Chains A and B, each alone.
Chain A
């Protein structure tokens, strides 16, 4: 009897596996069959004859994965909320209609692929990739293979776009952030002796650190202290801070997420060390930590493409709507999500795409559009993309004053 039950269970498993295989085969074969039609490439640039019918009944199914729970949830939820606001605005205006769906990947590569498969079963036509780098490296391989166009709001690792013609980023790449930070510090004369504390088991932190050092050396900036930490010893920073203090660093560069940074600020404060602090986009979010004393982050500078205090109408409108809907000031990830949807709207409009097109057709249209168009969003103006998928825009310096972000220039 027991054996029989086992056999039944095994049979059920085999069947379900076969079902999975069948559906994914089905998906790729439909993709395959459309390849000859679209591979001409010329269809991508010439406006479709029915270009004005974008108000047709259907909506573009747009999907993304991100950490909606787990340690990085603040990023996933921000990007999702930002995208949702853009979708609501665009849908309300008539014209192109979007149907947005986000799936949780808990900042885990394996779960991201499962989440991506769920989106594909739902019928996703264009993708917002994943919010964080590690999962996006996994899903970008899938979207590349399935010929689904993806524009990630915030996965900044170069591995996300490397060698994949249909993967684009709304954010800077990691190396870009390191170089831009060093440039900014040098140009604004922010510090003469620089210390870096970075996380050596994190691609994000290491990528920024390496390019920062290269750029700093090229400009003859003095890096007097270069120390690391890793998962597991990320609570005590006394040694790293004393090293920076001993070497007389007047600016400490922190290419890391805000969680360890909050501990660094508290410990530096306790030991009476008050250099200038300079962070990158991972520092965004520190002010929303529950119980965090904003006085500790007073004067912290960070380089981010988005400034919630900017006075232009677009940003003000977005910040207002975000606050009304979610009760907090949007961070850069929310703005990236918002811009992604608007960039899609602009590209789809220009290409004359319709919701009844397959993902494959849209993929080719989008590649042609993104490599040729110029986009003005709230995370930058006159953004352009090169064929690699990396964005070109200029970062904004921000400083924390009285517990709020203020633009520096």
Chain B
């Protein structure tokens, strides 16, 4: 029974990684750049949602919507100001810029919202008649509990994954995105507006970050300006694990990473769990360098 309990904890943690990883992988797959500021956009989304709900008393769905809108706008602005001028620059320059944007967002949040930790409200809790709050479904006579947040997160992951796959496969904009990801120069020659395509990619990625932020903070309700940075790095690892650029890979990598982390803690050592997780990542990358579901890269000789 404790095995199943650990499995459920692992999936809860993994689903959070997965939803963040989807944003990473989508931007990487199309714009071919690692947006290290993704984790911080998540933090901004969580703050927007927190303030609209806790301070202004708006209902939760409106708070989430506000977070999505603000983050989408933020994504477009960041892309215009920080990444667009570097379109022709080597990818290393863009990477460093992304790290700079990440620090900028963290410090801006520190000034705006101070460092005092906020406790995020749980949107996924039901109140029973006797006033006790239930946050999950009990199974097997109360020995197993799956929280509502986990269920919502997994559902959101699957929906987002399907929607993104459909969007990139079947719409005009989606086709333009795939074309940009193949070859920016050729896409431009075919009459595709590369700049606006990449802007849209960032807008979608940042909107997803807002949703991820709300779910992250609903599951682990501590909100500080650095909330997004470590989960962001873990989710980046998850995206690499599953094969960066592959949308189903992000989901698989995220869940596996979460389960692996909890199992390492439970059965090996709480002190070494991170070391074990990253050792597993190294092994996967040695055996399959493009990640679990990544496209194999053919090298031309």
Contacts and interface: CB of A to CB of B under 8 A. Distances in A.
Interface of A: 69-74, 200, 227-233, 235-236, 238-240, 242-243, 246, 259-260, 262-263, 266, 270-272, 288-293
A242 B266 CA distance: 9
Contacts of A231: 230
B220 A263 contact: yes
A260 to B, nearest CB: 8
Nearest to B6: A239
Contacts of B5: 238, 242
Nearest to A232: B230
A235 B220 contact: yes
A263 B220 CA distance: 7
A227 B220 contact: no
28 contacts: A73-B114, A74-B115, A74-B116, A227-B270, A228-B270, A229-B270, A230-B271, A233-B261, A233-B273, A233-B274, A235-B219, A236-B9, A236-B13, A236-B261, A238-B5, A238-B262, A239-B6, A240-B265, A242-B2, A242-B5, A242-B6, A259-B117, A262-B119, A270-B145, A270-B147, A272-B142, A290-B119, A291-B120
B234 A239 contact: no
A74 B9 CA distance: 32
Interface of B: 2, 5-6, 9, 12-13, 50, 54, 110, 114-121, 135-136, 142, 145, 147, 219-222, 224, 226, 230-231, 233-234, 261-262, 265-266, 270-271, 273-274
A291 B265 contact: no
A266 B133 CA distance: 12
Nearest to A107: B115
A18 B215 CA distance: 53
A232 B272 CA distance: 12
A71 B224 contact: yes
Contacts of A271: 145
Nearest to A71: B115
B18 to A, nearest CB: 15
Contact of A70 (B13, B115, B221, B230): B115
A263 B273 contact: no
Nearest to A77: B116
A233 B119 CA distance: 18
Given A236-B13, A238-B9, A238-B262, A228 B271 contact: yes
Highest count of chain B CB atoms <10 Å: which of A71, A236, A262: A236
A38 B81 CA distance: 61
Highest count of chain A CB atoms <10 Å: which of B145, B224, B234, B270: B270
A285 to B, nearest CB: 9
A83 to B, nearest CB: 20
Contact of A270 (B6, B120, B136): B136
